[in-house]
Amino acid sequence: MASMQSSSIIFSLLFVSFFLTVAVVLGSSNGDESFRDGGVRKVLGLVDDFDSSSVSNAGGMSSGGDSSSSSSSVSFATSEGSGTGSDDVSWGSLSSAETESITSEQGPGRWSGSSHKTVEFVKYEGLGNDFIMVNNLDSSELKLSADDAIHLCDRHLGVGADGVIFVLRDKENFQMRIYNSDGSEPEMCGNGIRCVAKYLAELEKATAPKSYKVLTGAGYMILELRKDGQVCVDMGVPILNAPDVPTTLAATGEVVKAPLEVDGKTFSVTCVSMGNPHCITFGEQGSEGLDVDALPLEKIGPLFEYHPLFPARVNTEFVQVLTRSHLKMRVWERGAGATQACGTGACAVVVAAVKEGRSERNCVVELPGGPLEIEWRENDNHIYMTGPARKVFQGSAILEE
């Protein structure tokens, strides 16, 4: 009896399989997608259609679809690139019904019961300091909110980045605005502005050498794209007057080797603004210096950032002097935390090192993400930062409205 039951079950399964195969073949040959879409997809749980007509090549970023179709779609794309030339983009398209089905099958989540919008972006990095670049040239209003930036920068639920950078027009020049990963808006970002230079060159299909004038919250910056792929930025004149940094460590004048109590220890600090505030320390007062690799950055960084003597909060650089032309630093960035690199921070470090008599004016500053060349010129008092920037990938991200 058991043998007969087993044979019956096997026969039934074979019959059902044969029936489904025949139905799919006949449905496809007659142009009838209804059975395959409504039946096989539900049985097998597959979303297997690729609509090649939804591919658009406009800038490699469009999320197009078949204009004759009345159904909405969510498009997605990713593409690796080196920042030079065009990149192949792999596209897919899901109908809104399919998207809802997938969402409901995954259970309640961030997108459940809400409407969505998509944003096209390009991901760039400068020494591991990574940014989501948004083309905002067609509008003076930012295309994303601070909350959108927080979601996009989330490394588990979003694209993942240290910040979102918007590139806008400024008459015949350009403007850069940035949201940190916590949604705050800093005045300036050194690694970010090198990424802006590479991004603008990509948008314009320009080749090096090429210069751009870009407005930031710290004023205009001149960016030079060099033939060797490096970007040199004229970062302007450092600000040393305490109220302009800002810090209340002094009523006026420079703050150099000032004592600062943090976590029960007295650090010697120098304060510099590169359009955004920096507190630089080479160690505790009376110490021989820092071993930056041994520093508990996640613990001590926030204590500096939110110290009451810095009314606008502060970026903090912890510095180890290797030679008079080679400095090593780690950074806790205001609004972003521990990052791989900070361009304005590297500039501020050289200013502080010169002020404290620890280095020359031309230094290599070694960061966790790699080295930057920093020069504080005597003839014009400007600081020049030179370093790399690289395109990583591009795509479209879904955001909750």
Q: Which residue numbers are catalytic? A: 189, 342
The pairing of beta strand 337-338 with beta strand 116-126: unpaired
Q: Read off the amino acid at residue 293.
A: D
Quick check: 190 and 339 in contact, CB under 8 A?
Answer: no
Q: DSSP secondary-structure letter at 36? A: I
Greatest Cα pair distance in the chain = 100
Measured CA to CA, the distance from residue 166 to residue 213 in angstroms comes to 15
**Collapsed DSSP state (helix, strand, coil) of residue 137:** coil
Sign of CA dihedral 148, 150, 156, 161: positive
Backbone angles phi, psi at 48, to 5 degrees: -115, 5
Burial (CB < 10 A; 0-12, 13-18, 19+), residue 72, is exposed
Got the DSSP string for 86-130? Answer: ----EEEEEEHHHHHHHHHHH-S-TTTT--EEEEEEEEEEETTEE
- Taking alpha carbons only, the member of 251, 268, 137 closest to residue 204 is 137
Query: The tokens of 80 are what?
Result: 């690796």
Separation between Cα atoms, residue 84 and residue 89, nearest integer Å: 14
Helix residue ranges per DSSP H, 119-250: 146-153, 190-204
Can you give the length of the chain in residues? Answer: 401
φ/ψ (deg, to 5) at 249:
-65, -25
